[in-house]
Chains A and B, each alone.
Chain A
């Protein structure tokens, strides 16, 4: 895609996708509150800049693996909003035909290898995708999005090491929102700077303001360039914050109202609007129109999904294995 401030079109893209993520998450919360959505949800409101900035450094063919808090990654990579909402509502036209739900959306067309219900589960998979890219000389990168909590999983360590020793075209993208559910990074890490972990694998570890879509894009693009040049993976630590609880059961007992309020003032969307207007790439009116576009897109997705046919249990048994073709 390119730098968010490189043209009005790029600026519009950055803003539109952040709004789409924000409005998508708000719609999910609304649908959940109305009892229309089953199960649970992990909202990424406040974290929109990180996936948007990262994915603006990617091509359609580049791959990602995502997390339980994965709606943003999915949208930033270009997924269809209707099929996403439909999946959350258990509809036949949903990305997984109702079999996966919020935590398992994948989209082959946009190189999304899927969200993952297991913390750290997607990191070795992204390493494998990067390995395949290297072996097949595809010239693509694989980005694994994960949270700070996943960095203490063995999967992170094993995958980071494999990617490093094989110089895989991979990016380890940590959205450090400060908490693994209720455990703060201060409690879960004995190091202050998570990017220091990169040294342990012999790869660069880079910190970035995860609420600044421009800054995120810049470190992401550098990491992509390095990966595509065959120099191996980069660990990016994007500092950000989730405004909402971990999931629907969260009572926010482990953090203060003041802390949440403080982070709300660091909202990535107005921050980018100010820069885009300052750079004379967008006007306030255009920004308002972009916000409105996002709202309309989500509304249309919800309206279509609600009317869509529910997923049916018939055929479940046949769905376990892909049919063997001679």
Chain B
């Protein structure tokens, strides 16, 4: 069993390998995904196992390679494109937002783009402002893109398999800090898919609902476990797919707990998690709230370099813990 406690990098590689084995039209392209094994080691030995024709090293040309992935997807292939850092998707945004996202709709459904764009995001590595952003809202605000933010290896595997199957462009945002750590749960063998657009109730409690994305799910989980010892019982919901977003478990949970804390890594202003708040505010579950909704998000600044500054820029475990404790204590 212990050998199934994979890291996210291993889980993503396993999912890609399964897809490679299942479908000849699946291939991987990106900068240094070949012999190098990927900047974060995600593709690993795939180059040796599948060959240079299916694990395609590209020049440093994000717009070109995403465009090539779009064209290949339109022509019967199922490309997985890796962009080395999510920050560099800015270089490729025309192909992502104007082409991939719109083609199916704009062309009246004549064509579709079964493509997955995997890219690492997030802070905590000391790589500073151009290598550390959380860009969830960029993608979640574009109709036509599905956006997946896995928080653990088991989900990453199942969601990536579903993303590769999906006939639409999927942006798959992997947090760098999760690549090297094993998840809490073993990663199942085989090719089990986790459908996109289904939120996961990670744990259930009666006092507070936390909705968090990506790495913030892990941080919130730790907080929930710790506060359980103090008698504070927390429901933790991981949307997993932020577009399309499944709010139903959030509504149901808030109707029970009456308290909602939302946590994201990216800057607060116009952040993705604000969508959760907006949908809650406009729902009939609003009347169940016994406390104001609390939001924890990154500061509205570029990610700074120095470790103490970088930590200050995004929510940490202590922030989540004190926010959770305060909500439950103050609002009874």
Contact = CB atoms under 8 A, between A and B. Distances in A.
A and B touch in the complex (CB under 8 A): yes
Interface of A: 63, 65, 87, 94-100, 104-108, 113-114, 116-118, 121, 123-133, 135-136, 142, 154-155, 157-159, 161-162, 165, 319-325
A19 B74 CA distance: 31
Nearest to B79: A128
B53 A100 contact: no
A325 B112 CA distance: 13
B106 interface: yes
A321 B58 CA distance: 29
A157 to B, nearest CB: 8
B106 A96 contact: yes
Interface stretch (B9-17, B95-103, B149-157, B300-308): B95-103
A106 B144 contact: no
A158 B63 contact: yes
28 contacts: A65-B71, A100-B106, A106-B110, A106-B111, A114-B110, A116-B99, A118-B99, A121-B94, A123-B67, A124-B63, A125-B68, A125-B74, A125-B99, A131-B72, A135-B27, A136-B75, A155-B63, A158-B59, A158-B61, A319-B108, A319-B109, A320-B105, A320-B143, A321-B167, A323-B167, A324-B165, A324-B168, A324-B196
Nearest to B113: A322
Nearest to A142: B71
Given A131-B71, A132-B72, 14 more contacts: A65-B71, A87-B108, A96-B110, A99-B105, A99-B107, A123-B67, A124-B64, A124-B71, A128-B72, A136-B77, A319-B109, A320-B144, A321-B104, A322-B104
Contact of B59 (A124, A162, A319): A162
B25 interface: yes
B66 interface: yes
A126 B109 CA distance: 19
B113 to A, nearest CB: 9
The 4 A-B pairs at the shortest CB distance, nearest first, are namely A124-B67, A128-B71, A158-B64, A96-B108
A53 B133 CA distance: 48
A161 to B, nearest CB: 6
B238 to A, nearest CB: 21
Contacts of A321: 104, 144, 146, 167-168, 244
A100 B144 CA distance: 14
A157 B65 CA distance: 12
A128 B72 CA distance: 4
Interface in B264-321: none
B69 interface: yes
Contacts of A155: 63-64, 67, 94-95
B108 A99 contact: yes
Nearest to B66: A124
Interface in B211-240: none
A324 B168 CA distance: 8
B296 to A, nearest CB: 31
A158 B94 contact: no
Contacts of A104: 106-107
Contact of A322 (B53, B70, B168): B168
Nearest to B144: A320
Contacts of A126: 71
B21 to A, nearest CB: 16
A323 B146 CA distance: 12
Contact of B109 (A97, A123, A127, A130): A97
Given A155-B64, A319-B105, A125 B70 contact: yes
Contact of A135 (B72, B108, B168): B72
B66 A95 contact: no
A135 B53 CA distance: 8
A319 B110 CA distance: 11
Nearest to A155: B63
B210 interface: no
Contact of A128 (B75, B110, B112, B196): B75
A281 B61 CA distance: 49
Given A124-B70, A159-B64, A321-B146, A108 B106 contact: no
B87 interface: no
Contacts of A125: 67-68, 70-71, 74, 95, 99
B241 to A, nearest CB: 12
B32 to A, nearest CB: 15
A129 B67 contact: no
B75 A133 contact: yes
A165 B168 CA distance: 28
Contacts of A324: 165-168, 196
B71 A97 contact: no
B116 interface: no
A100 B107 contact: yes
Between B108, B112, B143, B166, the greatest number of chain A beta carbons within 10 A of the residue's beta carbon is seen for B108
A136 B64 contact: no
Contacts of B63: 124, 154-155, 158
B59 A113 contact: no
Contacts of B59: 158, 161-162, 165
A106 B77 CA distance: 18
A106 B68 contact: no
B250 interface: no
Contacts of A123: 67
Nearest to B166: A324
A171 to B, nearest CB: 14
B224 to A, nearest CB: 32
Contacts of A128: 67-75, 79
Contacts of A65: 71
B61 A162 contact: yes
Between B64, B144, B196, the greatest number of chain A beta carbons within 10 A of the residue's beta carbon is seen for B64
B64 A127 contact: yes
